[in-house]
Structure 1
């Protein structure tokens, strides 16, 4: 059974799910349709999902940024599915696979973010995106556990801090964040956590 969350809600992932270790964080979005006088067309927007593996102080250390140009964490516990450049089609546009049992003890939060590639040159922001969501899927049975639809107005924002998987009292939880910010590239966003 899927639990739908709203911004700011938190939920246990592992406490009620004995043996849960492998999850997929799926992210999806659709470009809005730009309507002209005689025609309409979809805007070509390249959104990129990333995971920042943060320590107990909320700091990014080493090569713990998993994104389109670094598809795997150094320990192999977090793996990116690869870049989807259009957001076209049904289902998840990008996925981040996490093996909770393999996440190093010094990592306390896995922050999931989405940014728009080359947003400044293309003059694009999240006001041009619709139907954005994040979901957590149990990989052992492919069941969706959690879904958070991003319904706020993110016009003018070029990056979204979507949610986080975090440790609390020996268990893993999910926090629906949904915070928009301006950051023209994932590397610049990541610097805020160094």
Structure 2
């Protein structure tokens, strides 16, 4: 059993929790003679720390999310927990990177109460049938006038699930806490905007995750048998249609572009959206193939180019100014380290993702803005160099020049 203090974290594997099925149990004891109505809830958060839709808020009136990866049991039969979440991490949608567990006092009726009158508040994370052995325990203390508290969070860090003890209380109840995570409880329906991924996109990611898993044995077999380019395309045709959801007539092969033939052009509702350069299964992808694929995009006016050998799927965004330039957006290897981030990336270039082209464009903007070349360029601007010079003076009381700082940065950037 691993007992945590506020702010501490631990990976599930360090606690002996190695499976994808686990429980989050929450318990408490009220003072004798007191009637305290406590509700528990869970927020399924994306990388921005917000819910992506109302389906990502689990509470007494919505006990299960759309992917059926988390279920709230308000009357568990285990004698240890007052309320219990059953969690299947392997079913979580790709965009979920954190689950926050919350307890709230309902003061709608009767005399107002707070967590100062509640004892032995506790959250446990444990595997089925292993409560006493493989268990993470956190008991928040020092709560007083708070009426809601974030107990703890499961979060994904570098492909590893971890748990952090929070114990952060709020005096203004669930409303304020929910707004922190992007849920507005003051209205019956959730607002629709850029910070919400619609439910159809979530279901699209779940479907892609399932379908690509079914194709992995076929992809491994294609590499082992050293399939030629023609037979590789037969598998690729099915991936475009069965995994990414394109219609048969939207997957066009051998498309003539400026006197050359692109291997594929994918379209949606009559509009060409992606040029595909396909090589035989497992073949090493080289620089000249990237240039060839990018030139197809430049000549055709299609912004997105996908280079694949059935194992790797590499997406570039093509810009044409005086010269053809390509920005790497993502590189996926389905046989090596394929994770939830990759599923989201595949969903962006799926048929449904391309009908919501703003999602892909926004993702590209973020990737390009945080690329090593752009960050390196920003680090060498006068404004940043001057700021670093001031920080060194403040922290170490040493005067250095911008040129000295620039030389150091260029050394690390190998310029």
Shorter-chain-normalised TM-score: which range? 0.7 to 0.9
Deviation at 1:109, TM superposition (A): 0.5
Aligned equivalents of 2:28, 2:17: Cα separation in 1:
31
Are 2:63 and 2:73, in contact at CA under 8 Å, matched by a contact in 1? yes
- Alignment: residue pair count: 179
Give the gaps of 5 or more residues in structure 2: 183-415
Q: SS of 1:189's equivalent?
A: helix
Which structure 1 residue ranges, 4+ long, deviate > 4 Å from structure 2?
A: 15-19
1:54 to 14, 32, 45: 45
| Residue in 2 that maps onto 1:114 | 103
Cα deviations by residue, 1:51-71 (Å, 9 ceiling, x for unpaired): 100000001121100111110
| Residue in 2 that maps onto 1:149 | 139
Greater percentage in helix: 2
Are 2:126 and 2:136, in contact at CA under 8 Å, matched by a contact in 1? yes
Cα deviations by residue, 1:86-121 (Å, 9 ceiling, x for unpaired): xxx952111111101111110010000100012674
Decide which structure has the larger Cα Rg and report it.
Answer: 2
Aligned equivalents of 2:134, 2:111: Cα separation in 1:
34
Cα deviations by residue, 1:8-55 (Å, 9 ceiling, x for unpaired): 10000046757410110011100023xxxxxxxx20111111110000
| Residue in 2 that maps onto 1:166 | 155
Superposition TM-score, scaled by structure 2 size: 0.41
| Residue in 2 that maps onto 1:44 | 35
Do residues 129 (structure 1) and 128 (structure 2) align?
no
Aligned equivalents of 2:167, 2:173: Cα separation in 1:
18
Aligned equivalents of 1:90, 1:135: Cα separation in 2:
13
Do residues 23 (structure 1) and 22 (structure 2) align?
yes
Give the gaps of 5 or more residues in structure 1: 34-41
Are 2:6 and 2:165, in contact at CA under 8 Å, matched by a contact in 1? yes
Are 1:157 and 1:180, in contact at CA under 8 Å, matched by a contact in 2? yes
Q: What aligned pairs does 1:74-89 form with structure 2 within 5 A after superposition?
A: 74-82=66-74
Superposition TM-score, scaled by structure 1 size: 0.84
Deviation at 1:82, TM superposition (A): 2.1
| Residue in 1 that maps onto 2:62 | 70
The root-mean-square deviation of aligned C-alpha atoms, in Å, is: 2.2
Aligned equivalents of 2:105, 2:111: Cα separation in 1:
10
Aligned equivalents of 1:91, 1:14: Cα separation in 2:
23
| Residue in 1 that maps onto 2:177 | 189
